[in-house]
Structure 1
Amino acid sequence: MLNVDEAQEIILAHTKLSRHVQKGILEASGFALAEEIHADRDYPPFNRATMDGYAILSSDLNDHHIKEFNVTREVFAGMPAGESLVSGNAVKIMTGAMVPDGADAIIQVEQSIQTGPHVIFDVTEIQAGKNIAQRGEDAKKNDLILSKGHVIQPYVISMLATLGINKVQVYDSPTVAILSTGDEIVPIDQPPLTHQIRDSNHYNLKSSLQNYWIVPSYYDIVRDTKAELEKAIERGLKEDILIISGGVSMGDADFVPDVLASFGVKKLFHKVKIKPGKPLWFGETETGVVFGVPGNPVSCQVVYKIFIEPYIRKVMGLGDMRRLKLPLAEGHRIKGERTV
């Protein structure tokens, strides 16, 4: 019998990246990119002021020791910079504005005193490039900005918008079918008899799948007969993932493994050293995979979290989930003499 790590390794070894699909950048939030994203131009696309102040030639202050500058105009963000700056002149400039050609430094407004068309500064030297974001310092045209597999989050959406991209190729969600098996299972809107239980596993699985934008393409409650199982499984195998709840233990009515074999589903393992969740069955077809999960609701939840969700994440190019481990404050008895 496999341990958990061995079972996970087999499951993840049988994943293939999902189909590509084009989505709008807002709709694509949470998906993984299936294409590379490159810069369409230099960023910033011009020398940009990073402070409110005055654009000057640094040599005027450092070498020529000019005390008073002529303020020739103002430049605001979103307007052309205008003519090139000449020695002895200064341009009043706002944060985000385009720096005029010739200017190579900006003295912030707090270090200036302007009187009419003239300005003086309370600094005697300034480093070239001060308070200017140079053209292309963030990215050059055609630079790789985002690689395949990068998960689209709000900051990525902002970057895509900056690049003028409103649609991207992403790895799509897999299609899923869910079958709940057992003569004892009834829909949740049907009053159960004494020997029956409502189908909670379907809702557990469906709500979990919604985290990955998956709405099951097919769902059914199937009785414990080979004929009904064959009909339902044949339909379910049309999807990328078939999840079958119940019917994978060793009881006389647990027909699922035999029916799957009759459809050519290759069994990769049956049973894992884990409680709850031991009867897990996993197999593959030419186009997808099958998870046979225990019918016990807690077992179903454990199997989904430990085995099925990592598979879905890898198929969608989302990578591993971060595991959180916390120590128990004290021992907790679960059954018999065992404690955890």
Structure 2
Amino acid sequence: MLTVREAHARVIAAFSPLPSEIVSVAEAAGRVLAVSPQARLTQPPTDLSAMDGYAVRAADVPGAPATLTLVGQAPAGGSYDQALKPGEAVRIFTGGPLPMGADSIVIQEDTRADGTRITILEAPRLGRHVRKAGLDFSLGATPLAVGRTLTTRDLALAAAMNHPWLSVRRKPRVAILSTGDELVMPGEPVGRNQIVSSSGIAVAALVRGWGGEPTLFDIARDDARLIESCIEAGAQHDLLITLGGASVGDHDLVQGALKAQGFDMGFWKIAMRPGKPLMFAARDRARVLGLPGNPVSTMVCALLFLKPAMERMLGQPGDLVRTQPARLAVDVKQNDQREDYVRSTLGHAADGSLTVTPHAVQDSSMLSVLAACDAFLVRPAHDPARKEGDAVRVVDLRTLQPF
């Protein structure tokens, strides 16, 4: 059996960045940059006032009080276009450009006005309350890097850089195929030997949340020709996800259908828990990731393998999910030959350090346990028994929306 890292390496090696497309900056939230936009201007374009008050020459007010002569004003969107002479002041408002010769702002609270006579009650420091030209960014700057998933903050910056359009990676198109006579969709009548299918809906939500466009196929019954037809349709997407049909004891219809369609089977068994029956296959540009049928196994494998594959298509590294240190809140037994992702709850010790408590039941069919946990305790293969307080590694699910 492959290790998790070996399987992950094979999966991400099979994917490359998708082509780019142009979208409106207003519609680019959550998209991944394909080209880093260059600032088309300098911001601010000139020295501006950061406060309402008076633009002065600091040399004219070496101490306070001092009296200057008001000669004009510079509102935001307007300007005083003459050079400031010794002993002069200009009324200025936030965002207004500094007149030539001015180098400081005295806020209005520190002044007293009597007609054109402005008494300065507190001497300004040189450059006080002045936003220098280029303080935010300069012409040609590239503060947003290729491969960045754009936030609303990034969109505000791109818009300020005078970009109405951005070049982003096309969203990965991901087909999702659940197989099995035992499955019915939520809301349908449930037969005596049937269960409600949840994995396809969950994977579709993950694909959408990770920046892709999911296509959820109808459940394919256990019919070889039907499954072959569905696989052929799914292969027209950037990635086909199959759910179930590859475990030991299944009819192996999915593997058989893939082989009949000319796919090379990369692997179909991983040394991990949950999720041992993970499958990967390829044919020309078509890629198929076969996730286990048990819903918890589906979700864990999606996090470890589907998410990195999508990231690679979006021009990102596709690294394995990050872990962080924590300390055991209870003793745990020795682990076997499979890397284990143990559903757990996080807490904090008296000193504030992170602690982790595994759930008592770890059955891979129990979605209630998965929904209740906020972490995976990651136990390496053959990990020895551990005691309360021992250092371990965890995946903090609270940081992995929409998971």
TM-score (norm 2): 0.75
Distance 1:88 1:190, change over 3 A: closer
CA contact under 8 A between 1:220 and 1:232: conserved in structure 2? no
Distance 1:296 1:100, change over 3 A: same
Quick one: distance in 1 between partners of 2:272 and 2:9?
15
C-alpha displacement at 1:269, in angstroms? Answer: 1.8
Distance 1:66 1:202, change over 3 A: closer
Distance 1:115 1:194, change over 3 A: same
Identical-residue share of aligned pairs (%): 31
Q: Does 1:8 pair with 2:8? A: yes
Aligned to 1:78: 77
Quick one: distance in 2 between partners of 1:268 and 1:327?
37
C-alpha displacement at 1:196, in angstroms? Answer: 2.3
CA contact under 8 A between 1:17 and 1:315: conserved in structure 2? yes
Aligned to 1:142: 140
CA contact under 8 A between 1:62 and 1:126: conserved in structure 2? no
Bigger drift between 88-97 and 255-264 goes to 255-264
Q: Does 1:162 pair with 2:145? A: no
Q: Does 1:34 pair with 2:34? A: yes
Gaps of 5+ in 2: 333-357, 364-383, 387-403
CA contact under 8 A between 2:44 and 2:136: conserved in structure 1? yes
Aligned to 1:306: 304
Quick one: distance in 2 between partners of 1:126 and 1:325?
48
Secondary structure at 1:292's aligned position in 2? Answer: strand
CA contact under 8 A between 1:39 and 1:142: conserved in structure 2? yes
Find the structure with the greater CA-based Rg.
1
Q: What does the per-residue CA deviation read over 1:27-69, in whole Å, with 9 as the maximum and x for residues that have no partner?
A: 2111111111111111111110122222122333359x99431
Secondary structure at 1:18's aligned position in 2? Answer: coil
Quick one: distance in 1 between partners of 2:327 and 2:124?
59
Aligned to 1:117: 116
TM-score (norm 1): 0.88
Q: What CA RMSD, in Å, does the superposition of the two structures yield over aligned residues?
A: 2.8
Quick one: distance in 1 between partners of 2:201 and 2:296?
13
Quick one: distance in 2 between partners of 1:324 and 1:184?
39
Quick one: distance in 1 between partners of 2:149 and 2:230?
35
Q: What does the per-residue CA deviation read over 1:294-340, in whole Å, with 9 as the maximum and x for residues that have no partner?
A: 2122221221122212222332245555546655533555589x999
CA contact under 8 A between 2:65 and 2:120: conserved in structure 1? no
User: Which letter does structure 1 place at the counterpart of 2:106?
Assistant: I
CA contact under 8 A between 1:266 and 1:284: conserved in structure 2? yes
User: Which letter does structure 1 place at the counterpart of 2:290?
Assistant: G
Aligned to 2:243: 245
Quick one: distance in 2 between partners of 1:74 and 1:306?
61
Match of residue 274, structure 2, among 273, 276, 279: 276
Greater relative contact order (Cα 8 A, min sep 6): structure 1 or 2? 1
Secondary structure at 1:142's aligned position in 2? Answer: coil
Quick one: distance in 2 between partners of 1:252 and 1:124?
84
Distance 1:299 1:118, change over 3 A: same
User: Which letter does structure 1 place at the counterpart of 2:7?
Assistant: A
Quick one: distance in 2 between partners of 1:236 and 1:67?
79
Secondary structure at 1:216's aligned position in 2? Answer: strand
Quick one: distance in 2 between partners of 1:297 and 1:111?
67
